A and B are shown apart, each in its own frame.
Chain A
Amino acid sequence: MKVFVFDAQKCNGCYSCQIACKDEHCNNSWIPYALPQPTTGQYWMRVDEQEHGAIPKVRVEYTCVPCMHCDAAPCIKAAAAAGVADAVYKRADGIVIINPEAARGMRELVTACPYRAIYYNEELDLPQKCTGCAHLLDVGELPHCVDLCATGGLRFGEEEDFLAEIAQAETLMPECDTKPRVYYLNRPHLFIAGEVWDPYSNDIVEGALVTLTDAQGKKQIVSSDDFGDFWFNQLLAGSYELEIMAKGFVPVKRTIELAESLNLGDFPLQRKD
């Protein structure tokens, strides 16, 4: 059974996967798996881009979102519910295919997908999505998007070859319980960051202990680096308490409601004496 594995820490946001999908599927028809993808506006392999933080603590997150090729695929259920069971099917290798012959007119497939991975081709009157480049898999080749990923951000292969990584990975929207076959490594989620310094000497403060406590009382402690910076990474949204302690300085406390990544800015510490 095949899987896609996306590693956020190896993605440079080049969009080659999104463009490669168009290179392979626009103007090209891969019957029995797919009719052509429209030139623009649809992304069978979509790259989502999000800016985090505030100057100068900024990061950019890129996420590849193809069809999840779910084992409990809502689109397959929707097709069955519509009485056109052969409109969407799962291949033996796990790839989910919308049958372009049988699925014409089935707009409900678009709304059935919680991942927004199914697009409606008005010209062809057809719901369409990633085929895993099944026509290439059939001749022993990689999906075109994966073939064009130069950095190792997007990989594809047999599930058993990725077991160790899958154990570390997440899936998108697990609450939908669709058993996706696309796994995500090193997702950044949210961060809290800041900088501590001493306004008396106009120098950064290295080695300040910064403690972040979440709503469950779980603590993380980092030490400010030689630029005075501290970062807490891969946080989930929620309430946090932050405390900064540095020898010779008055401690600082903050309560944080974290909804998006946060650069707390710089903390000019007060000297104790």
Chain B
Amino acid sequence: MELTESNKKSGTSAEGCIETAAASKAENFADSTVVSVTACTVAESVTTTPADSSAIKTMGFCGPCSASEPAVIDVKDGRMLRTRPLSYTKNAPAGGLNPWTIRARGKEFKAAEKSELSPYALVAKQRVYSANRILYPMKRKDWSPGGDPTKINAQNRGKSGYERISWDEATEIIANEVMRIKDTYGINSVFVQSDGHHQVKSLHGPRGCEGALLDILGGYTLQARNPDSWEGWYWGAKHVWGQDPVGQGSCNNLFYDIAKHTDTLLHWGCDVCTTPWAWGGQFPSRYCFFLHDIGVKQIYICPDFNYGAAAHADKWIPVLPNTDSALQLAIAYVWLTEDLYDKEYIETHSTGFDWFVYHLTGGDDLTPKTPEWAESICGVPARTIKALARHWAKRNVSIAHGNGGSFIRSTYSHEPARLEVALLGMQALGKPGRNQVKMMEYQLFSLAEQMPAPRSEVIPNLFAVLLPYAADTRESLVPETLVPEALVGDYSNEQPLEWYGTTVAGMPVEDQFKKYSYPAKDFKRIHMLWIDSPKWTSSWNCGNLYIDAVRNPIIETIVVQHIWMEDDCLLADILLPVNTKFEEFDINCDIMSGNYNSLVIEKQAIKPLGESKSDWECAAEVAKKLGADVFKQFSNNNEPIESRAQRGFDASGIQDRLTWEEFNNKEVYVVPAAKDWQDDAAGFYNFYRWPNHYPLKTPSGLLEYYSQRLAESFPNDDERGPYPKWIEKGKTHPDERLSTPRSSKYPFLLVSNHPHFRMHSQLDDCAWLREIKMCKVKGPDGYAYEPVWINPIDAQELGVKSGDVVKLFNERGWTLGGVIVSNRIIRHAVLQDHGARIDPIEPGVSDRGGTNNLIAPKKIISQNCAGEVTSGYLVGVEKVDVFELAKLYPEAFSRPYDPETGPLHINHALREERN
């Protein structure tokens, strides 16, 4: 086979392993769907003696300038040996760390002495040496550059195999295609997609390397980066409490405030043992154990007994997905009718409360929002709603969030977000012990107010050397939620696709009132995609329609650069192999771990595998083909990477504390805790105490139960109206509830949370995670199916038991899952985490991987809010016979498959090439 020669040339052991895997599959493939692959366990790769070098690497996934979880990677004989926590104390600066301690109720919670890594960090080795790595540039075999519809074979994207090509050929093709598109349609017909959350890198990208190059040629159309995990706060809560740019509450110093003053913490749709693992580590869970020790009651309100609840809940109140608004309104109704709220605070701190009362009492819809009314919608007994309302009114209650899930990512998600602020207001938001706290993404956007843990002396940043970031904005853009429509919809300059707001995560609220259109004025539509960190199919709203869109010949060229063969890689025409961060030199600032901030030099730990390059180098290789001037400009005169790192350091905020040489030598600077952190006003305290001197960022400076601005800007919007309310159905989503007609065909609400055993679709190929009991369900055919939690009573009615395989379906297609019958999920809902790697059966229709985003509603949150709806929607559930399916779809069910890794699409491609 063709690979052998090149393997001999490059000769890293991992390549050898993958080679072995591919070869063994070729032999066994014809007879069996499950082939045994022993990836990377060859004897010569065994390490027997201590490490001979180490490198520090941040292991979190948030994004540039938002790293977390610094770890030490030990290396031996050029291979990664192990992953260890980084010691803060051993790496303390000369003046010490000024380690902080929260003292409350006779107990202490201290800064950790070493980083608190999540399990995701511990599978690093498996990800690096995965059989799923893309190691060489590839070209889809039945695609030809040039834009000729008969030679594109767009209909075969997701089906046809790949052939290996050289870097020279790949970059030549890309450069020619870019110039051809530019000359034919204009440079804005190249669409740059960079999906959120990948390994965090500063100098190497991803996120925008290709954009930086295209800007030299005149521009590109940007896939705008949504506030995808906190949609409701962005589109809803901002209109009640301001809170630009995030939309969530002020978290400043709240861990101290909660420890001192809070009686009950409501984890509302929050899983402190899932999302923080990718955006910070184990710190929030350790804090929740401390809250238990000091007697703070922790109540979880969510459809599922999630992993945070499993570790920390004193009580679980199961609520049907995306019916939180009804529960919230009933709580407010109890407070109103039993006189259990802070009327003086409402008087001095809010405006428009009478409108809210009008809705509560049924003035607008003739339905008083009683607990009995809510019970029939949300599934929480009226007596429990009353008990919760009274419990809350007597105590200091704060609410914790961790992003994602049905609470904040479903239809009309602006309503539960606005209603939560309305409730917090009724109990004097900002009074000690009464705030909203976020359990992850500390110091998001480098904001001090987004830090509930004790403050560090500085928040280091690397703004000086960041590439144009995918969270930027520009004139020509498409929101992530509208990509399929933009790609193939019938839009033109005369009849453009229109929506409100750039939808970019960090934009101020004023942006939501501006209308945007695609194609932007004077530009033509998109004909080429250049994608890094792909995950549209597995993470956005209705991946099946995205697959349909890119199988249209109007999309002439798709370039994808990525580390692993997953998600949208399967749809590429050209694939470029990207390094993991362990193969790169970089500099990163860790601001999301919670204990201390730090600035880290990430030395190259191991050599790049195969012919992989960094995202930045991928773009640089194309730049070289575009001419010496373009490359010179792109590479800042071929500036050495160390020099770029030093420029980053020089403006990082810690450059006056030690020299570049000292920093480079130590590899890490841990920022001490601020001396006076205890004095920081917590959360909304200043607003609570002095509303006139510390107004909110709303037009009135007060909590706006009625938004005059919304009323004036969108007088005809009967979905996101001027005040928050219960919306059973509306123009945008007329039929997505258990109470609406489609539920007779699709009788379950799907809870699609951020995944517990991976980071979106990343890590789905790690054997050490896949073998954990709750991570995958082994079907009767030996395939590891993505779990579907089903309540025992529902399971009985459906006639399914644990270990069965079911189909989740609606009009938009179907995907499969392995049943876990469990009391951890409320009746009439099923849970399947989002982000399992796609494994198409019929591309655009059906999938074996459990990638439920493929069948999420395509429609946006509501008519003027272009956010995603990816949880809390209707699905049907039906038992399937996988052996029957295998007969119906022999090709999809006989794909090369390694039980430890999952489907191996790239080997599939290579196998075809060999035949």
Contact = CB atoms under 8 A, between A and B. Distances in A.
A31 to B, nearest CB: 6
Interface in B13-52: 38-41, 45-48, 50
A212 to B, nearest CB: 20
Interface string A45-77: 001010101111111100000000000000000
B383 A228 contact: yes
A41 B122 contact: no
A151 B307 CA distance: 15
Interface stretch (B82-90, B517-525, B660-668): B82-90
17 contacts: A9-B289, A9-B292, A12-B312, A14-B119, A15-B772, A16-B117, A28-B48, A40-B767, A40-B770, A40-B771, A41-B771, A55-B318, A55-B791, A55-B827, A60-B311, A148-B85, A150-B283
Contacts of A229: 315
Interface in A147-178: 147-148, 150-152
Contacts of A41: 771
Given A12-B307, A147-B84, A150-B117, 12 more contacts: A12-B312, A14-B273, A23-B123, A23-B125, A39-B900, A55-B826, A58-B305, A151-B282, A151-B285, A202-B382, A202-B386, A227-B391
A204 B384 CA distance: 7
Looking at A19, A24, A41, which has the most chain B CB atoms within 10 Å of its CB? A19
A44 interface: no
B674 interface: no
A20 B282 CA distance: 15
Contacts of A16: 117-119, 122, 282
Nearest to B283: A150
A227 B46 contact: no
B823 interface: yes
Given A49-B774, A203-B383, A150 B45 contact: no
B289 A10 contact: yes
Given A13-B311, A150-B112, A226 B387 contact: yes
Interface in B770-807: 770-774, 791-792
Contacts of B767: 39-40
B116 A150 contact: yes
B372 A202 contact: yes
A203 B827 CA distance: 23
Contacts of A47: 772
B307 A13 contact: yes
A230 to B, nearest CB: 12
Contacts of B838: none
B317 interface: yes
Nearest to A201: B383
Interface in B99-121: 112, 116-119
B387 A228 contact: yes
B402 interface: no
Nearest to A35: B46
B888 interface: no
B48 A29 contact: yes
Contact of B46 (A12, A15, A27, A151): A27
B182 interface: no
B81 interface: yes
Interface residues of A, number: 52
> Nearest 5 CB-CB pairs, A to B?
A150-B282, A12-B311, A60-B310, A150-B116, A29-B48
Interface of B: 38-41, 45-48, 50, 79, 81-85, 112, 116-119, 122-123, 125, 273, 277, 281-283, 285-286, 289, 292, 305, 307, 310-312, 315-318, 372, 381-384, 386-388, 390-391, 767-774, 791-792, 822-827, 900
Nearest to A226: B391
Interface string A93-114: 0000000000000000000000
Nearest to A227: B387
Interface of A: 9-16, 18-20, 22-24, 26-31, 36, 38-41, 47, 49, 51, 53-60, 139, 144, 147-148, 150-152, 197, 202-204, 226-229, 266
Nearest to A53: B823
A31 B768 contact: no
Contacts of B824: 51, 55, 58, 60
A51 B79 CA distance: 39
Looking at B45, B125, B384, which has the most chain A CB atoms within 10 Å of its CB? B384
A29 B311 contact: no
Nearest to A61: B310
B318 A19 contact: no
B82 A28 contact: yes
B83 A23 contact: yes
A229 B82 CA distance: 46
Nearest to B39: A39
A40 B286 contact: no
Nearest to B792: A54
Contacts of A24: 82
B122 A203 contact: no
A68 B826 CA distance: 38
A14 B282 contact: yes
Contacts of B282: 12, 14, 16, 150-151
Contacts of B383: 197, 202-204, 228
A139 B49 CA distance: 12
A204 B382 CA distance: 10
B112 A15 contact: no
A147 B40 CA distance: 26
B273 A51 contact: no
A28 B771 contact: no
A55 B308 CA distance: 16
Given A12-B273, A40-B771, A226 B390 contact: yes
B63 to A, nearest CB: 23
B286 A27 contact: no
Contacts of A40: 767-768, 770-771, 900
B547 to A, nearest CB: 32
Contact of B768 (A22, A151, A204): A22
Contacts of B315: 227, 229
Contacts of A60: 305, 310-311, 824
A31 B391 contact: no
A56 B122 contact: no
B121 to A, nearest CB: 9
A204 B119 CA distance: 41
A14 B316 CA distance: 20
A152 B772 CA distance: 21
A266 B384 CA distance: 11
Nearest to A41: B771
Contact of B48 (A30, A49, A266): A30
B773 to A, nearest CB: 6
A229 B382 CA distance: 15
Contacts of B826: 55
A160 to B, nearest CB: 22
Nearest to B394: A226
Contacts of B48: 28-31
A23 B122 contact: yes
Contacts of A227: 315, 384, 387-388, 391
Nearest to A203: B383
Contacts of B827: 55
A26 B47 CA distance: 9
A118 B712 CA distance: 71
A242 to B, nearest CB: 20
A29 B47 contact: yes
B41 A204 contact: no
Contacts of A144: 82, 84
Contacts of B125: 23, 27
Given A55-B318, A56-B317, A28 B387 contact: no
Contacts of B390: 226
A9 B289 CA distance: 8
Contacts of A49: 773-774
Contacts of B39: 39
